[in-house]
Chain A
């Protein structure tokens, strides 16, 4: 079942002459239904409930259907936003889904986690005078519409004629999944190797259930399996198999590396190895991947702190803080070196966290973690001031001498960033790396090893789901070109 033909074009009948001309509504932006803060902070169910059909239609009606739709340029994968919103206006939902899937294999995921406010919505024509069209919420609604269909009625992109080429993908995060989907569409035989016991990358182990239900990630992955993509979990490339063996023993013709930036960075302050100090990766992996919130029904425990301090200001810090609340903490503090304006987290997530009761401690930085009998009892932090802008253009925080103060807490979650995990690369000496240990790749994802491509966080450092997906898809096209080139 597909609304996308072989060339990837949308096969929608266009009886445009008969369609009435679209008259944009002048209503304000349609709010999305959300669960109340007190209710949702007590469980792991999804916070945002999305639009109903009625709300989606009302919001779509606000779109001007511009001749020159600037929104599309704001989208890192250039979804034809005007077209999919147009299909909602016309009640042609399946066609709308097809437009999304032409560019984005995981619309229900992206509709939830993309920072639309900085991307498509930021450049929507309406944003100049009023609030932009809620493009993300409409994308989510269409993605969910597709997921709600029985698998056989879902919009599964058509798989191309088998080419006989075999492609291996390392890592099943957004980069690997997007690459796999595109390669399958192009007719290649695709196998994903994943080191963990479940696919999805950060979508599965990092982003919590209350923001991105795992059932959604699984359904999107099911669609890839439906397209013939094979997923082999429990396979650590660099340990179980090497890059060289994938090419020369297992017989793959080309490889895409999408192994993410999964190595946690710690603060390097005294007391960091006390019990109760977690990297955000460990904390979130225990809770999301291992379902520690269902302990003891699920076997993996997590330390349930009463007073939790989270260090950092990104999405990962927000997710950790909100997870700690849901595990039953009385108080959760979030300590960040700069001010709320500089926080890299999405506005919406900051807003949700503060609604739920996370206490923000801005302009402070931890210098020591205190403990007794091996367990955390507190955090010593120092006050910061904003100095001159640094190379990233943000004002660099400088510490105020003698301003140390203590925060009493029994758990500390460190969410100050991640780096590339060297495990895979150590076993692949020919693969060129950047100075900071990421895989060096050109704009098409080509690496120093012929036939080996890379994209996503493993090339750029920690970024976003949609950028990783875009990179995976671009690499798939480049891999196809490389495979089809008779002179290679």
Chain B
């Protein structure tokens, strides 16, 4: 595994994190596979990894979307939004990532859930997909609600279809694919019809907030998979603190799954915005750098 101090001198060799798969799912959404045999042996649905693209890079968390213990690789899906995901989108098969660590977080509980509505919003679909698959494999009944702002941001629809959920509902905000609605509309219908015992929602914080509110009204429990800002992902910094039922929990080790009815979403959204200015600066410096290189 790659390893370095500040002088970046020693690299004792061993396993390298080589990119073995890359697929563009839409204009801005990519799927990537990386060789990481030890990690691949351990992953379970709902867990995440942290990677760095290069030696000046930030540590960013991404959820495992797929993995093969036999072949020793893991996959994840990311949307190109900031500097790190831009740089990542420029990596090609055969390139090596500087770091990849995992699996982190507590796996999603599956198997005795009954009828579940798995709701994936935007790239949240990348988390929803392995979770839905694990639930189906464990014998749960799974309905999938897949939502995005517009058709181009809709990902993994074919993959979801292939695992044969009980139903698959697609929504877009602008009606460019599936039903013109927010994910909460079909969710509410399923809850009211008494068709589900549990909802599992993952996507932007605001979407999870509304899924939690919708299910709460109907008295259906709702698990949400949170995405707070992280640094180490192992419980040593507390950057990922979230308030759940009035208690502070660490998103990276106690989560990422929490009881949606108890999560303080306002706090989560506020904490996610702490570095917006810095991110803007980082992105603009990066685009300057890119245009220089061209």
Please name all residues of chain A whose beta carbon is closer than 8 Å to the beta carbon of B9 when the two chains form the complex: 218, 222
Taking CB atoms and an 8 Å cut-off, the chain B residues in 200-254 that contact chain A are: 231-232, 234-239, 241-243, 248, 253
Give chain B nearest CB distance to A266 CB in angstroms. 7
Tell me the count of chain B residues lying within 8 A, CB to CB, of chain A.
52
Give chain A nearest CB distance to B244 CB in angstroms. 11
Asked if A282 contacts B239 (CB within 8 A), the reply is yes
Please name all residues of chain A whose beta carbon is closer than 8 Å to the beta carbon of B236 when the two chains form the complex: 262-264, 281, 285, 421
Cβ of A122 within 8 Å of any chain B Cβ, yes or no, is no
Give chain B nearest CB distance to A201 CB in angstroms. 11
Render A286-308 as a binary contact track against B, CB cut-off 8 A, 1 for contact: 10001100111111110100000
Cβ of B291 within 8 Å of any chain A Cβ, yes or no, is no
Cβ of A114 within 8 Å of any chain B Cβ, yes or no, is no
Please name all residues of chain B whose beta carbon is closer than 8 Å to the beta carbon of A276 when the two chains form the complex: 274
Docked pose: A194 CA to B236 CA in angstroms = 13
Asked if A235 contacts B271 (CB within 8 A), the reply is no
A239/B57 contact (C-beta < 8 A), A195-B101, A222-B10, A233-B1 known: no
Please name all residues of chain B whose beta carbon is closer than 8 Å to the beta carbon of A197 when the two chains form the complex: 2-4, 52, 59, 98-99, 101
A214/B5 contact (C-beta < 8 A), A221-B10, A290-B59, A296-B285 known: yes
Binds A, one of B128-136, B154-162, B166-174, B276-284: B276-284
Cβ of B102 within 8 Å of any chain A Cβ, yes or no, is yes
Asked if A234 contacts B56 (CB within 8 A), the reply is no
A290/B231 contact (C-beta < 8 A), A233-B99, A275-B274, A279-B237 known: yes
Chain A binding surface, main DSSP class: loop
Asked if A301 contacts B104 (CB within 8 A), the reply is no
Render B1-41 as a binary contact track against A, CB cut-off 8 A, 1 for contact: 11111110110101000000000000000000000001100
Docked pose: A230 CA to B3 CA in angstroms = 10
Give chain A nearest CB distance to B60 CB in angstroms. 9
Give chain A nearest CB distance to B240 CB in angstroms. 9
* CB closest residue in chain B, given A198: B5
Docked pose: A160 CA to B260 CA in angstroms = 58
Docked pose: A195 CA to B101 CA in angstroms = 8
Central interface residue in B2, B52, B232, by most chain A CB within 10 Å = B232
Give chain A nearest CB distance to B28 CB in angstroms. 19
Cβ of A77 within 8 Å of any chain B Cβ, yes or no, is no
Docked pose: A291 CA to B38 CA in angstroms = 29
Tell me the count of chain A residues lying within 8 A, CB to CB, of chain B.
56
Q: Which of A219, A233, A295, A373 contacts B282 (CB 8 A)?
A: A295
Cβ of A231 within 8 Å of any chain B Cβ, yes or no, is yes
* CB closest residue in chain A, given B283: A296
Please name all residues of chain B whose beta carbon is closer than 8 Å to the beta carbon of A278 when the two chains form the complex: 238
Asked if B58 contacts A299 (CB within 8 A), the reply is yes
Docked pose: A235 CA to B275 CA in angstroms = 28
Docked pose: A221 CA to B3 CA in angstroms = 12
Docked pose: A264 CA to B281 CA in angstroms = 30
Docked pose: A392 CA to B61 CA in angstroms = 42
Docked pose: A279 CA to B235 CA in angstroms = 12
Please name all residues of chain B whose beta carbon is closer than 8 Å to the beta carbon of A329 when the two chains form the complex: none
Q: A222-B10, A236-B104, A300-B58 are in contact. List 7 more A-B contacts (CB 8 A).
A: A215-B6, A221-B5, A239-B102, A264-B236, A299-B57, A300-B231, A421-B235
List 21 A-B pairs, Cβ < 8 Å. A197-B98, A198-B6, A204-B6, A215-B7, A217-B5, A218-B10, A219-B7, A222-B10, A231-B3, A231-B10, A234-B3, A239-B102, A239-B103, A240-B101, A279-B237, A282-B239, A285-B237, A290-B58, A294-B56, A299-B282, A374-B271
A residues engaging B (CB < 8 A)? 194-200, 204, 214-215, 217-219, 221-222, 225, 230-236, 239-241, 262-264, 266, 272-273, 275-276, 278-279, 281-282, 285-286, 290-291, 294-301, 303, 373-374, 421-423
